[in-house]
Amino acid sequence: MSPVPPTPSPFPPPAAAVVPLAATDLAQVAAIEEAVFPEPLSYAEVVRLWARDATVYLGVRDGDRLLAYFGFEVQGPTAHVISNATHPDARRRGLGGLVLRAGEEFARARGARWFLGEVRRSNVAQLRLLARLGWRAVGLVPHFFGNGEDAYAVWRLLP
Ligand SMILES: CC(C)(COP(=O)(O)OP(=O)(O)OC[C@H]1O[C@@H](n2cnc3c(N)ncnc32)[C@H](O)[C@@H]1OP(=O)(O)O)[C@@H](O)C(=O)NCCC(=O)NCCS
């Protein structure tokens, strides 16, 4: 008799698959940062931010492997985006949207009323993703990033 084949995991995974990150996930956050950002957060910076009471780091894992994450800091009504990214091998499967959407509930639970972030002017993928999720570009911040690139200030009023 042939063995029962494993049940394939649903993709995209359900929102319930988005969980607060543990200390053991942070090396993978730093590794993804290093792989995808021109000015990545170091492991030490990620650990320092994660340890702050105001910070929320959420992610989606496949086993022990981190596929996508979203970090933000809540100060009063503002949930300020630290960063979000999807592992390059796991893109265009809805995971970026999944973690950002899940972040809304976590932000609201901490008293936030809106998200605020800064996105590189050249970052078409993130700008499209945010537009689909109801974020608005509310202004251009010249030379915001360390390499001189402009940022769009992006904002989402939490429903
Ligand atoms: C931006 C990013 C987070 C998107 O993650 P993702 O998991 O691939 O996103 P999703 O699968 O949820 O994409 C949802 C929608 O966003 C838009 N989008 C995502 N990637 C895109 C791309 N490369 N080009 C154009 N639109 C894109 C599309 O509208 C997409 O829907 P579709 O796949 O049905 O066309 C990912 O590309 C990434 O990690 N980039 C590097 C890190 C980064 O720039 N982070 C944001 C700055 S803090």
Buried b (16+ CB within 10 A) or exposed e, 73-84: bbeeebbbbbbb
Give, as one character, the DSSP assignment of residue 155.
E
Residue closest by Cα to atom 45 of ligand 1? 85
94 within some domain = yes
pLDDT of the residue at 24: 98
The model's pLDDT over 99-137, given as tens digits with 9 standing for 90+, comes to 999 999 999 999 999 999 999 999 999 999 999 999 999
Rounded to the nearest angstrom, the distance between the alpha carbon of 5 and the centre of ligand 1 is: 32
108 within some domain = yes
4 within some domain = no
Intervals of the chain under pLDDT 50: none
pLDDT of the residue at 22: 98
Number of neighbouring beta carbons within 10 Å of residue 17: 18
1 within some domain = no
Rounded to the nearest angstrom, the distance between the alpha carbon of 42 and the centre of ligand 1 is: 22
51 within some domain = yes
Give the domain extent around 104.
17-157
Give the H/E segment covering residue 58.
Answer: strand 55-62
Q: Which residues line ligand 1 (CB under 6 A)?
A: 36, 68, 83-86, 91-97, 119, 123-126, 128-129, 132
Residue closest by Cα to atom 43 of ligand 1? 85
pLDDT of the residue at 108: 98
Give, as one character, the DSSP assignment of residue 101.
H
Long-range contacts (CB closer than 8 Å, 24 or more residues apart) made by 62-67? 62/9, 62/90, 65/28, 66/21, 66/25, 66/28, 66/29, 66/32, 67/95
Total domains present in the chain: 1
73 within some domain = yes
Total residues belonging to the chain: 159
CATH (domain of 126): 3.40.630.30
11 within some domain = no
CA atoms within 13 A on the CB side of 5: 3
CA nearest neighbour of 11 among 86, 108, 105, 106: 86
12 within some domain = no
